[in-house]
């Protein structure tokens, strides 16, 4: 079987059909008549190097180097050369590599093929079910994923860590569906599979679920659950609500335990007994969010921390501890030092420039790393990373990718406000350093037609290597694009972060032909981290457009923190806000996706349009 080299670069549907066809061929190759479902590998020639060995060794090496998709293709080639269980093991490895390479549809198809061909080996089926469930969740197909996870739990050979993670995921899915008691059962049952800090984190999830429902519902659940552990948790939850005083609560819990000796002990820690709903207490090894809690920043911080907590829940990673600053840089520095003493492994934040400077001034070389959520280039020190949230990232990306694509001259048009001025300055600075030329710069009043200066700017002759860099939001872009097109109907128009939410204005017909870069979270919301989005819709039910964007930054900031703690700096991270790389001087480079407006709708693009296209 020979796979097309472009298999993993085709559109989703084409790629899926290509893989299905390839697998079909793989399953019906003209081998000996021994059935594929044999319990042992079919006889093969006794050679020192079996036919699949070279491909399999190459796949192993590629996987170790982080080249997941290339490894997947070589595993499929290895599978094509054999049959029986060996073939299925290679297909399963290809599925796992595809999943790691963010090709969930391919991973699901490969896992499907393993499940279709294998019915006797529960261990192999369990591995395939686990890959398939993760792939389905990555595509937002949670009902199908739930069935796979529940089947996985019926297989006795399922490893304890996989069983625990499957139970945690099922608890999340059932909570989303409003079946909190079923979710509670899964969380309590998984307790016996965990150890150390993982038990503490699981208890936090149980407390959070119980705190989200009324006392009346908890009393109703007492009559419906026959699990003694669940009964004990429900009883303790009610005691905690009826006894707000810590000493009285502890005495009441001890009295209940003594009166019910038949119940297995929960082994509550002092935190569980006295701070039932407190998820921000001191924990060694946490990822600490150091964010402002006052003024207009409070809601943004709420969304950022919600994104981080969602990422922690989905990955079963370190807990998130929120340190709330007040806008006073001195106090922010004190909070940072306090967090270091309390065991924070890494900090996400500060957000404001004055707070970043304050933390940098007290941070010692031996202190934990910091991911500053700002673009203050004046602060540089080992262990301090910069993850910029502003539109200057999009401006620099257009400059870099525009020049690399072959564009050489630009017309710059921006609104008469401080934000527009800053964005165009970042663009021009990057563009000129690359060697690009600026044909002219003009401003316009937001919400008004282009003035004479702008019309004069665009009325000259342009070549195929020219484009317009337009700074606008979705509200003002319509008038600007219409005016540009009335002067020059063919010149490309590139705009940084055109969208404020995930949609265009209702009167976006005149925007056809404008290209923009923005985060995948808003360009393709249905396919970018759908499981995280579902959880965030629950925790941020009334999120504004700005909060929704900040939640995406929280998701990515948590993953970046995890990468930094693991010292994994070489491989890019495909995040909600873009593809992230660790660059020079601690700067985290963020490459966003391209989109085009066509007939009033958003159309994702694979890359920047080439000159003359």
| Lowest pLDDT segment from 137-146, 445-454, 477-486, 507-516 | 445-454
pTM of the model: 0.56
Helices within 101-214 (DSSP H only): 104-117, 122-138, 142-153, 160-176, 180-190, 197-211
Query: What are 332-357's pLDDT values in tens digits?
Result: 888 898 899 889 999 999 998 889 98
% pLDDT > 70, the chain: 84
Q: What is the mean pLDDT of residues 143-169?
A: 88
Residue entry with tokens 């872009």: 477
* DSSP states of 60-123: HHHHHTT-HHHHHHHHHHHHHT--HHHHHHHHHHHHHHHHHTT-HHHHHHHHHHHHHH-SS-HH
pLDDT(105) > 80: yes
Q: Are 158 and 181 in contact (CB under 8 A)?
A: no
| Lowest pLDDT segment from 12-26, 384-398, 449-463, 524-538 | 12-26
Q: How confident is the prediction for the chain on average, in pLDDT?
A: 81
Cross-strand partners of 347: 288, 370
Q: Are 304 and 551 in contact (CB under 8 A)?
A: yes
What contacts 24+ positions apart, CB below 8 Å, involve 563-571? 564/346, 564/369, 564/371, 564/385, 565/318, 565/345, 565/346, 565/369, 570/66, 571/66
pLDDT(142) > 80: no
Instruction: Delimit the CATH 3.40.50.2300 region(s) of the chain.
Output: 289-390+521-591, 392-496
Instruction: Delimit the CATH 1.25.40.650 region(s) of the chain.
Output: 174-274
**How confident is the model at residue 275, as a pLDDT?**
34
Category of 66 on φ-ψ map: left (φ > 0), alpha (ψ -120 to 50) or beta: left
**How confident is the model at residue 283, as a pLDDT?**
42
In degrees rounded to 5, what are phi and psi of residue 571?
-90, 140
Q: What is the mean pLDDT of residues 417-436?
A: 91
Banded pLDDT at 17 (limits 50, 70, 90): very low
Q: Which helix (H) or strand (E) holds 222?
A: helix 215-222
Question: Exposure string (b/e) for 333-361, b if CB count within 10 Å is 16 or more?
Answer: bebbeebbeeebbbbbbbbbeebbbbbbe
**How confident is the model at residue 264, as a pLDDT?**
61
Question: Exposure string (b/e) for 96-134, b if CB count within 10 Å is 16 or more?
Answer: bbbbbbebbbbbbbbbbbbbebbeebeebbbbbbbbbbb
The highest-level CATH class for domain 7-158 is mainly alpha
Instruction: Delimit the CATH 1.25.40.10 region(s) of the chain.
Output: 7-158
Return d(Cα 411, Cα 487) in angstroms, integer: 13
CATH of domain 174-274: 1.25.40.650
CATH of domain 392-496: 3.40.50.2300
Query: What are 256-295's pLDDT values in tens digits?
Result: 877 877 666 565 543 333 333 333 333 445 899 999 987 7
* DSSP states of 385-433: EE---STHHHHHHHHHHHHHHT--EEEEEEESSHHHHHHHHHHHHHHHH
CA 413 vs CA 373, 479, 540: distances in Å: 28, 13, 36
Fold of 289-390+521-591: Rossmann fold (3.40.50)
Q: Are 412 and 440 in contact (CB under 8 A)?
A: yes
Q: What is the mean pLDDT of residues 299-328?
A: 90
Q: Could you tell me the end-to-end alpha-carbon distance of the chain, in angstroms, rounded to an integer?
A: 36
pLDDT(46) > 50: no
Q: Are 378 and 401 in contact (CB under 8 A)?
A: no
In degrees rounded to 5, what are phi and psi of residue 353?
-55, -45
Query: What are 74-98's pLDDT values in tens digits?
Result: 888 888 888 888 888 889 999 999 8
């Amino acid at each position: 079987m020979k796979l097309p080299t472009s298999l993993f670069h085709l559109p989703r549907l084409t790629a899926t059909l290509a893989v299905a066809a390839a697998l079909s061929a793989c399953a019906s190759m003209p081998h000996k008549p021994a059935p594929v479902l044999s319990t042992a590998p079919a006889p093969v020639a006794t050679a020192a190097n079996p036919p699949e060995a070279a491909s399999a060794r190459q796949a192993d090496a590629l996987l170790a180097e982080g080249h997941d998709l290339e490894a997947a293709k070589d595993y499929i080639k290895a599978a094509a050369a054999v049959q029986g269980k060996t073939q299925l093991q290679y297909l399963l490895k290809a599925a796992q590599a595809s999943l790691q390479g963010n090709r969930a549809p391919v991973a699901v198809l490969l896992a499907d093929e393993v499940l279709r061909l294998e019915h006797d080996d529960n261990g192999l089926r369990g591995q395939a079910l686990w890959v398939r469930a993760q792939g389905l969740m990555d595509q937002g197909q949670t009902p199908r994923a739930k069935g796979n996870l529940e089947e996985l739990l019926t297989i006795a050979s399922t490893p304890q860590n996989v069983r625990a993670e499957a139970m945690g995921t099922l608890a999340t899915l059932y909570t989303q569906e409003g079946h909190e008691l079923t979710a509670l059962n899964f969380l309590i049952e998984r307790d016996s599979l965990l150890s150390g800090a993982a038990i503490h984190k699981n208890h936090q999830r149980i407390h959070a679920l119980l705190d989200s429902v009324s006392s009346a519902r908890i009393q109703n659940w007492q009559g419906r659950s026959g699990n003694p552990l669940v009964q004990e948790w429900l009883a303790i939850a009610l005691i905690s609500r009826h006894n707000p005083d810590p000493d009285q609560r502890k005495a009441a819990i001890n009295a209940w335990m003594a009166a019910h000796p038949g119940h297995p002990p929960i082994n509550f820690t002092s935190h569980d007994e006295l701070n039932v709903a407190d998820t921000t207490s001191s924990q060694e090894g946490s990822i600490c969010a150091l964010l402002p809690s006052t003024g207009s920043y409070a809601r943004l911080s709420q969304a950022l921390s919600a994104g981080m907590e969602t990422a922690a829940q989905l990955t079963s990673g370190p807990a998130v501890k929120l340190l709330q600053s007040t806008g006073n840089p001195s106090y922010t520095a004190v909070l940072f030092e306090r967090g270091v003493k309390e065991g924070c492994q890494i900090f996400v934040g500060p957000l404001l420039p004055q707070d970043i400077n304050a933390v940098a001034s007290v941070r010692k070389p031996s202190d934990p790393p910091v991911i500053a959520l700002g673009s203050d280039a004046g602060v540089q020190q080992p262990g301090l990373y910069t993850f910029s949230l502003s539109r200057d990232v999009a401006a620099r990306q257009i400059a870099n990718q525009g020049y690399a694509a072959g564009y050489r001259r630009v017309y710059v048009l921006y609104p008469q406000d401080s934000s527009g001025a800053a964005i165009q300055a970042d663009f021009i600075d990057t563009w000129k350093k690359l060697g690009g030329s600026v044909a002219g710069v003009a401003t316009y009043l937001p919400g008004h037609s282009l003035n004479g200066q702008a019309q004069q700017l665009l009325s000259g002759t342009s070549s195929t290597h020219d484009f317009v860099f337009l700074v606008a939001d979705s509200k003002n872009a319509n008038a600007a694009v219409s005016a540009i097109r009335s002067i020059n109907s063919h010149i490309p128009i590139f705009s940084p972060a055109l969208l404020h939410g995930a949609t265009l204005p209702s009167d976006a017909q005149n925007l056809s032909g404008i290209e923009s870069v923005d985060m995948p979270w808003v360009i393709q919301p249905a396919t970018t981290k759908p499981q995280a989005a579902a959880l965030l819709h629950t925790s941020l039910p009334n999120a504004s457009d700005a909060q929704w964007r900040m939640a995406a930054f929280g998701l990515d900031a948590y993953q970046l923190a995890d990468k930094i703690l693991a010292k994994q700096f070489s491989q890019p991270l495909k995040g909600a806000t873009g593809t992230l790389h660790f660059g020079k001087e601690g700067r985290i480079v963020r490459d966003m996706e391209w989109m085009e407006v066509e007939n009033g709708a958003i159309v994702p693009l694979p890359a920047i349009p080439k000159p003359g296209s």
